DNA sequence: GTGGAATGTAAGTAAATATTTACTTTGTCA
DNA sequence: TGACAAAGTAAATATTTACTTACATTCCAC
């Protein structure tokens, strides 16, 4: 039968451990930012989503600012783990492509959370948050640059590998942005695959190259 | 000599025509978003920047929402004009490169305003704003796609020109994001030039191509 | 099973923010 | 010149928002 007319709160309190609750809060915060934008992140909205009172949120965090820092830390850690766990197979270029696509799949799996870091949406919240975000993007960049450098071949100037890595980051950011802007209708993976195909030709041109 | 200790308002009222004032307001709004992010856009901050009272703002706009819509419209129009005015010279590919760099220069000249459209920062404010922003990006994309298609050559599948255009958009977005994230230290133009050089090779590989 | 610690919340409060009101100053044009 | 419209504002008001307090419930170690 129908539950309640419009239960303002779950009838029975949902007790959680502090750690669990903090993670719930952090994930809800990221979800709101990813789905509705930073402006819509409010304590009331957070409480509503979790089905708890606003006071509960402040039992576990001292301020909104703390929630934001924890949220960005949390997403950054997820992203870092994903990158470090990545292996891939085949040629360096194939692995670079796989990494890009794997990250985009990851964005989609996790509801777009890491996108708020990768597209700089949170960067102006505080210097601390900025640093975490920048460090994380730097990590992605270095990983891609390593693969790109291998793919391009060592005889060429190292700079070109960096530029290919920049392009791969650009593909990630652009695909993510288009996904968000299209209200998640435009698939990131398909979007990226088309661009990667073009890039592959540049890399092959370099390999076969002038030399 | 020193003006006032900390004049809370200009001693003499600054009268403007309604049209002028509305443009001032709209530009200040965009400047705040571009420099400090959407969260920092407040009527008080807007009034402070313009040296007028908050009531003045509401004489010219019915609500904050209206200001936002007007601001996005305004920036979109600037961007559209810039694209339509663009000519360029040389081969189609050279002109495509020039257009990308010209847009980045434009972002910098105008204090980063159009970036809030191109990187989707305002897209979730309202359906109306979303539509304006999407339309504008679509315009950029089509212009680049036309040039890219010419550059790639007609004998190849039309899809590839589209993909090259997507990459050019990606270069624009990524360069702009990096500029914003670096607190405007990382130069957009230099960043993009490196990537364009790599892309050129892909296009040339296509031209000379398998055929 | 009990008592203290952890978790939860209803009902606040204070500050911030958008918006309105009632009134003043300035421009303009007949 | 004077009167009407347009622009400006100080001082409210209404609402939203982050955060607190005082108390209730649940967990868990003993």
Per-residue pLDDT of A103-123, as tens digits, reads: 999 999 999 999 999 999 999
Distance B64 CA to C12 C1' (A): 30
DSSP A17-79: -HHHHHHHHHHHHHHHHHHH-GGG--HHHHHHHHTS-HHHHHHH-S-HHHHHHHHHHHHHHHH
DSSP B104-131: HHHHHHTTTTTHHHHTTTTTTS-HHHHH
Q: Residue B209: closest CA among chain A residues belongs to which residue? A: A201
The rounded distance, in Å, linking the Cα atoms of A149 and B13 is 62
* Per-residue pLDDT, B12: 74
* Per-residue pLDDT, A156: 60
The rounded distance, in Å, linking the Cα atoms of B106 and A197 is 30
**End-to-end C-alpha distance for chain A, whole angstroms:** 76
The rounded distance, in Å, linking the Cα atoms of B96 and B155 is 19
Per-residue pLDDT of B42-97, as tens digits, reads: 999 999 999 999 999 999 999 999 999 999 999 999 999 999 999 999 999 999 99
> Is B174 in contact with A177 (Cβ distance < 8 A)?
no
> Is A194 within 8 Å of chain B by CB?
yes
Residue of A165, A194, A202, A211 to mutate for B, most B C-beta atoms under 10 A: A202
**End-to-end C-alpha distance for chain B, whole angstroms:** 75
Per-residue pLDDT of A164-197, as tens digits, reads: 999 999 999 999 999 999 999 999 999 999 999 9
The CA distance from B4 to the nearest CA of chain A, in Å, is 33
Structure tokens at B150: 């010419």
One digit per residue, the tens of pLDDT, for chain B of length 211 reads 333 333 345 557 888 889 999 999 999 999 999 999 999 999 999 999 999 999 999 999 999 999 999 999 999 999 999 999 999 999 999 999 999 999 999 999 999 999 999 999 999 999 999 999 999 999 999 999 999 999 887 656 555 889 999 999 999 999 999 999 999 999 999 999 999 999 998 887 665 544 3
Distance A55 CA to C13 C1' (A): 14
> Is A64 within 8 Å of chain B by CB?
no
**pLDDT value at A211 more than 60:** no
Q: Residue B161: closest CA among chain A residues belongs to which residue? A: A198
Per-residue pLDDT of A14-48, as tens digits, reads: 888 899 999 999 999 999 999 999 999 999 999 99
Q: Residue B133: closest CA among chain A residues belongs to which residue? A: A181
Give percent of chain A above pLDDT 90: 80
> Is A25 within 8 Å of chain B by CB?
no
The rounded distance, in Å, linking the Cα atoms of B97 and B107 is 16
DSSP B159-187: HHHHHHHHHHHHHHHHHHHHHHHTTT-S-
In chain A, beta strands by DSSP E = none
Chain B residues closer than 8 Å to A42 by CB: none
């Amino acid at each position: 039968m129908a539950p309640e007319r419009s239960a303002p709160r779950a009838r029975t309190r949902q007790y959680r451990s502090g750690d669990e609750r903090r993670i719930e809060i952090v994930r809800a915060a990221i979800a709101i930012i990813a789905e509705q934008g930073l402006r819509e992140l409010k304590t009331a909205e957070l409480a509503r989503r979790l089905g708890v009172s606003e006071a509960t949120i402040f039992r576990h965090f001292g301020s909104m600012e703390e929630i934001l820092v924890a949220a960005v830390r949390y997403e950054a850690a997820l992203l870092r783990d994903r990158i470090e766990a990545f292996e891939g197979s085949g040629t360096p270029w194939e692995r670079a492509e796989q990494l890009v696509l794997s990250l985009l799949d990851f964005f989609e799996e996790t509801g777009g959370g890491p996108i708020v870091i990768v597209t700089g949406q949170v960067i102006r919240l505080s210097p601390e948050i900025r640093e975490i975000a920048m460090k994380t993007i730097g990590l992605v960049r270095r990983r891609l640059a390593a693969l790109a450098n291998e793919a391009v071949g060592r005889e060429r100037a190292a700079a070109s590998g960096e530029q290919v890595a920049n392009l791969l980051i650009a593909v990630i950011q652009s695909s993510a942005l288009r996904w968000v802007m299209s209200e998640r209708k435009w698939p990131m993976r398909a979007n990226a695959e088309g661009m990667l195909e073009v890039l592959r030709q540049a890399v092959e041109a370099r390999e076969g190259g002038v030399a």
